[in-house]
Amino acid sequence: MKKIMIVILAIFSILIVSCSKSDNNTSEKLILVGVNFPSYDLLRTLNQGTENSVSMLLPPGSESHSYEPTPQDIIKLSKSDLFVYTGGESDEWVNKVMGSLGTKLETFKLIEAVPSVLEAHSEAMEGEAEEEIDEHVWTSLENEKLLASKLAIKLGQIDTKNAELYQENAKAFSLQLDALIAEADEVIANGKRKVIVFADRFPLSHFVNEFNLEFYAAFPGCVHESEASAKTVAFLIEKVKEEKLPIVFHIELSDSKLAKLISEETGCKVGEWNTAHNLTREQFDSGITYLDLFKQDLALLKEALN
Ligand SMILES: [Zn+2]
């Protein structure tokens, strides 16, 4: 796959250089691209009331960690006024593409705008023991506030005539986030327990840190482990039984096999926690937002803690 990408980059870099020089966006409207759903949602939120074009690079319904840009994606990026991306392990390809563009791409990296948190590990978890930075910064609501405020400044620098509007949109979003934080605090404070179990990968270190929740999961971060060992499975089953947990979670767009197995063994319910990497095509077309997803997750969390 990597070799194919290098060939694609070589073929298209010449084309892109000539394209981007002659077809520079001369209209007043900005072309803004977000790599995945969280980046896209932030851009869309901050651009309410503007005529700018906001799009998502990742096709809805696809797995964000195995994404490779198509030649069309690279051309799209070369014509953008700002590209917002995570800046972690999953979009290391961005550096290669930027090197081949021959023209400077304006970017905003989520991971550099918020405090770093290491991938959280729990007992009997699979995968490498080495500690890595958790790139899923958007799973913290406090981070979302910080991201919106810093991205609003960046947008205002590129598009001074709308600078005030970006600030207002960031403030309105921040107030909505504050209301959700208060709601989450209440759910957690009134919960009978503080522990959740994920029979899946666990890209939620920022989230559990923010709300002081305990967790057990099969894999750290978003590593591509396909099968959990018998030891891990037995441990998670035991945890669900011991804590009498009503829900075992899996993340969105996952096969949820392990969660179903644990559910069969323990009688608990299976719940999908949407960590917002990406949406299904249907969700995307319906205009669902980051805030909508968090509200759904929070309703399930309330059930899981009681
Ligand atoms: Zn991930």
Domain covering 2-119+130-176 in this structure, CATH number: 3.40.50.1980
Q: 222 C-alpha to center of ligand 1: Å?
A: 5
- Whole-number Å distance, alpha carbon 219 to ligand 1 midpoint, is 12
pLDDT score of 5: 55
The secondary structure of the chain, three-state, reads: CHHHHHHHHHHHHHHHHHHHHHCCCCCCCCEEEECCHHHHHHHHHHCCCCCCEEEECCCCCCCHHHCCCCHHHHHHHHCCCEEEECCCHHHCHHHHHHHHHCCCCCEEEHHHCCCCCECCCCCCCCCCCCCCECCCHHHCHHHHHHHHHHHHHHHHHHCHHHHHHHHHHHHHHHHHHHHHHHHHHHHHHHCCCCEEEEEEEECCHHHHHHHCCEEEEEEEECCCCCCCCHHHHHHHHHHHHHCCCCEEEEECCCCCHHHHHHHHHHCCEEEEECCCCCCCHHHHHCCCCHHHHHHHHHHHHHHHCC
Task: Give residue 12's pLDDT.
Answer: 52
Give the distance (Å) from ligand 1 centre to CA of residue 89. Answer: 9
pLDDT per position as a tens digit, 236-259:
999 999 999 999 999 998 889 999
Distance 68 CA to ligand 1 centre (A): 15
Cα of 20 from ligand 1 centre, angstroms: 31
Average pLDDT over every residue of 120-129:
79
Q: Is the pLDDT of residue 3 over 50?
A: no
Same topology, domains 2-119+130-176 and 191-304? Answer is yes
Q: What is the pLDDT of residues 27-65, one digit of tens each?
A: 689 999 999 999 999 999 999 999 999 999 999 999 888
Q: For residue 20, what pLDDT is reported? A: 45
Residues with CB under 5 A from ligand 1 (ion): 203, 222
Predicted pLDDT of residue 14:
45
Q: What is the mean pLDDT of residues 102-108?
A: 89
24 CA distance to ligand 1 middle (Å):
33
Residue ranges per domain, the chain?
A: 2-119+130-176, 191-304
Given this model, what pLDDT does residue 151 score?
98
Confidence check: pLDDT of 79 > 60: yes
CATH classification number, 191-304, choose in 3.40.50.1980, 3.40.50.720, 1.20.1260.10, 1.10.3720.10 = 3.40.50.1980
Ligand 1 centre from 136 Cα, in Å?
A: 6
Average pLDDT over residues 214-229: 84
